[in-house]
Structure 1
Amino acid sequence: MTILVTGGAGFIGANFVLDWLAQADEPVINLDKLTYAGNLENLSRLEGDKRHIFVQGDIADSQLLERLLVEHKPRAILNFAAESHVDRSIHGPEEFIETNVVGTFRLLEAVRAYWKSLASDAQQAFRFLHVSTDEVYGSLAKDDPAFSESHQYEPNSPYSASKAASDHLVRAYHHTYGLPVLTTNCSNNYGPYHFPEKLIPLMIVNALAGKALPVYGDGQQIRDWLYVKDHCSAIRRVLEAGAVGEVYNVGGWNEKPNLDIVHTVCSLLDELRPRADGELYNTQITYVTDRPGHDRRYAIDARKLERELGWKPAETFDSGIRKTVQWYLDNQGWVSNIQSGAYREWVEKNYAGRTA
C-alpha cells in the first residue's frame, strides 16, 4: 500500500509527510515542483528512508502523473500542491491559475484514468483528498456565524478564487465521474517549516533581525489559527473515515486579530530571546498600508469534523504558538538557508511603497 502526496515539500505537505511516516510504515510518493516555498530541507530527516520516494515535478505534467500512478499504484492521492500566498497572487495571478486550476484539472484527469483502470475493490477503497482553504468562503462581518461547509463561496483574491475553482473541479469529478473524493477547507495554519512570507514566521524572523514588524492597516483582521500538526491529524482522520464526496472544515477555534498575534510573538521573544539592548520587540511594530481587498474576518465552524469523525485540535493557541516560536529559535540555520536573494527581492517588492 502506498499514498501519493503532491506538494509534499511545502509547509503543510512536509509536515504531513513527516507526521505520516512517524506513525505508519506505509510508503509515500512525494511529488513537488520545488518552487520558492518547496524545500527539501524540510524533509532532511527522511534522507535514506526507503519509505519516502521524492519526485521533483509538476502536477500539470500529465505524462509524469500517468507514469507515477502506473508505477506505484497508490491507494490514495493527497493534493497539497498549490500557490497559496494572497499577496503574491495580487502581484502575479497567472501562476495561481496555472497551478491551482490547470494543475488540479490535469491531476484529476490523470487520477480519473488511473482509478477507472483499477479492479472493483480497489476502486471502492481509493480516495482523492483535496486540501483547500477557508478563504474560498470570502469575508465575515464581526458578528457573522463562522463558515460552515454549506457556506456560499465568495472568494475575494486571485488566490482564493483559484482555490475555489479547484474545489469546484474536485466536486464535479465526483458528481460527474464518480471519483471518490474528499475535500478539507482549513483555517490559517502556523508551525514549523512555515515560509517566512506569512504573518507569524515573518514577525519572528524580522524581530530577531532587528527589522520593522509590518502590520497591515489597523491590524484588526481576524483569523482562526490552526497548528499545522493538528491540521495533519485532521487530514489523516478524514482520509481514514471521511464520507466520499463530503467536505470537512478544519479549524483551531482560535479567532484572533493579526495585531494580537504580533504582540503575542513579541512577548514570547521577550521571554525566550530578549533583545540585547533591553528594549521590547513590540517597539519594532510598524503600521503599513493595507493590501488591496484584504478580507476582514475568517472563522471556521469545525463541528462537523468533530461530530462525524471525532476530531478536535490537540493544541491551544498558547501551546502551539510557544512551540512555533521555539522551533524558529532552534532552527536559525533553516531560516538562513531559505532567505535567498529571491526571497529578499520578494519582501522588498511587496512592502516597498507601503507608507507607515
Structure 2
Amino acid sequence: MILVTGGAGFIGSNFVLDWLANNDEPVVNLDALTYAGNLSNLESLSGDARHIFVQGDIGDGKLVGELLAKYQPRAVINFAAESHVDRSIHGPEDFIQTNIVGTFRLLESVRAYWNGLSEADKQEFRFLHVSTDEVYGSLEANDPAFKETNQYQPNSPYSASKAASDHLVRAYHHTYGIPVLTTNCSNNYGPYHFPEKLIPLCIHNALAGKPLPIYGDGKQVRDWLYVKDHCSAIRRVLEAGKLGETYNVGGWNEKANIEVVNTLCHLLDELQPRIDGESYKTQITFVKDRPGHDRRYAIDVTKLEKELGWKPAETFETGIRKTVQWYLDNQGWVKNVTSGAYRNWLEKQYQ
C-alpha cells in the first residue's frame, strides 16, 4: 500500500493511473479537491478496490495520522501543492499555507508514524517529495542546465514556498532520520492538465476562437517533460533512489514559449483546422509580461540517467502530438473544468 497526496491533480492523477496500470499495489489517494483537483481525472478507476480516495488536506494532522495508522503504507508520495506562479503573485498566502505549513504538518504526521514502525519496516519506508526546477531561479542563455547541486534562488512566491518545503524535507531526514527522496521536475505537460498553464490554455483558447496570450516577447525558455515520463521517473526513484538524495527530472527539451505555441497551432491546423481556413497562429496575442518572470529553466538529468538508468520515453514532438490529440478527444472533460470561476480568473490575469 502507498499513500499519494494531491492525487486528483494533474501530475498526481496521472501518477495514480500509471501506478495502477503497472502493478496491483493499492493506493490511498488524499486530495483536498481545490480548483485544480478533479475526481473526473480518476473516473476510469471507479469501482476499483485498489484505489481508495479520501478528501482532505495534508495539513490535517488528525486525518493524516488516522490514514497512516489504518492503511500502514510503505511509502508516501507528496504531490500536494499550490503550483501556479501567476496565482501565487495575486494571492501568495495559499501557497505559504499549503506548500510550507502543509508540508511541515505532513512531515510531522509521517515522523510520528515512522517512529512507531518496526526496525524492518522503518528500513523499507520512503517519503518522496515532488518539487520543481523553479527553486533554482533563472538561467542566462548560455548558462549550463540546473544540476542538483545548484544554489536555490527562487524568484516567485510559488517557487519560494516550494524551496522552503524542500528544505523542510531535507531537514527531517538529517535531524530525525526520516527516509526521504526529493525530485525536482521541469515543466510537465500532457492529459488532465488544468487549462491555466501555457499548453492546455492555448489549446482551449484556440478551439474557442479566443486569443492565445503570450507573455512579453515569448522567448522565455523552459524544459518540457511529458507527464507520463515524469511518473515513470518517480516510480524509479521510489524503487532505487538513495536516501536523502535529490534527483532532477527533465525531458532534455528546451523550447521557447513562442515555439511551443507555434507547434500547438501547427498541430491544430493539421488535426482540427479552422472553418475559415486560417491558421490558429493568427490568434497569438502578446500581453504584458508577469512580474519576476524567469527567463530560462533547463534541467540536467544526468544523475537520474547514470545512477538509476532512467530516460524519458517521449520526445517533445511525440509527447505534444499525444497531448493535443487527448484534448481534442476529451472536450467534455475540458468543458467540465472550465467553470465560471475559471473564466473570471482568465479575465483577471490576461486583461
1:38 aligned partner: 37
SS at match of 1:65: helix
Structure 1 CA distance for aligned equivalents of residues 241 and 222 of structure 2: 26
CA deviation vs aligned residue, 1:158-190 (integer Å, no higher than 9, x gap): 000000000000000000000000000000000
Structure 2 CA distance for aligned equivalents of residues 50 and 175 of structure 1: 37
Counterpart residue type for residue 89 of structure 2: I
CA deviation vs aligned residue, 1:296-317 (integer Å, no higher than 9, x gap): 0000000000000000000000
- Alignment of 1:158 onto 2:167: no
1:116 aligned partner: 115
Counterpart residue type for residue 247 of structure 2: Y
2:135 aligned partner: 136
- Alignment of 1:302 onto 2:308: no
Structure 2 CA distance for aligned equivalents of residues 339 and 127 of structure 1: 36
Segment drifting more, 340-349 vs 67-76: 340-349
Counterpart residue type for residue 312 of structure 1: K
Shift of 1:157: 0.1
Pairing of 1:76-115 with structure 2 (within 5 A)? 76-115=75-114
2:144 aligned partner: 145
2:48 aligned partner: 49
1:182 aligned partner: 181
How does the TM-score come out when normalised to structure 2?
1.00
Structure 2 CA distance for aligned equivalents of residues 227 and 338 of structure 1: 21
1:254 aligned partner: 253
Structure 2 CA distance for aligned equivalents of residues 241 and 133 of structure 1: 20
Structure 2 CA distance for aligned equivalents of residues 264 and 173 of structure 1: 43
How does the TM-score come out when normalised to structure 1?
0.98
Shift of 1:40: 0.1
Shift of 1:52: 0.1
Shift of 1:241: 0.2
Counterpart residue type for residue 13 of structure 2: A
Structure 2 CA distance for aligned equivalents of residues 282 and 100 of structure 1: 37
Shift of 1:75: 0.2
Structure 2 CA distance for aligned equivalents of residues 339 and 248 of structure 1: 34
- Alignment of 1:221 onto 2:226: no
SS at match of 2:34: coil
The answer for unaligned runs of 5 or more in structure 2 is none
1:327 aligned partner: 326
SS at match of 2:8: coil
Shift of 1:287: 0.4
The answer for unaligned runs of 5 or more in structure 1 is none
Structure 2 CA distance for aligned equivalents of residues 309 and 347 of structure 1: 41
Structure 2 CA distance for aligned equivalents of residues 240 and 348 of structure 1: 44
2:241 aligned partner: 242
SS at match of 2:291: coil
1:231 aligned partner: 230
CA deviation vs aligned residue, 1:261-299 (integer Å, no higher than 9, x gap): 000000000000000010100000000000000000000
CA deviation vs aligned residue, 1:74-101 (integer Å, no higher than 9, x gap): 0000000000000000000000000000
Shift of 1:73: 0.3
2:12 aligned partner: 13
SS at match of 1:243: coil
Structure 1 CA distance for aligned equivalents of residues 342 and 52 of structure 2: 28
Structure 2 CA distance for aligned equivalents of residues 347 and 59 of structure 1: 28
CA root-mean-square deviation: 0.3
Percent identity, please.
78
SS at match of 2:151: coil
SS at match of 2:255: strand
SS at match of 2:247: strand
Counterpart residue type for residue 307 of structure 2: E
CA deviation vs aligned residue, 1:38-87 (integer Å, no higher than 9, x gap): 00000000000000000000000000011000000000000000000000
1:285 aligned partner: 284
SS at match of 2:214: strand
2:340 aligned partner: 341
Shift of 1:222: 0.1
Structure 1 CA distance for aligned equivalents of residues 293 and 15 of structure 2: 29
SS at match of 1:313: coil
Counterpart residue type for residue 184 of structure 1: T
SS at match of 1:19: helix
1:58 aligned partner: 57
Structure 2 CA distance for aligned equivalents of residues 329 and 91 of structure 1: 31
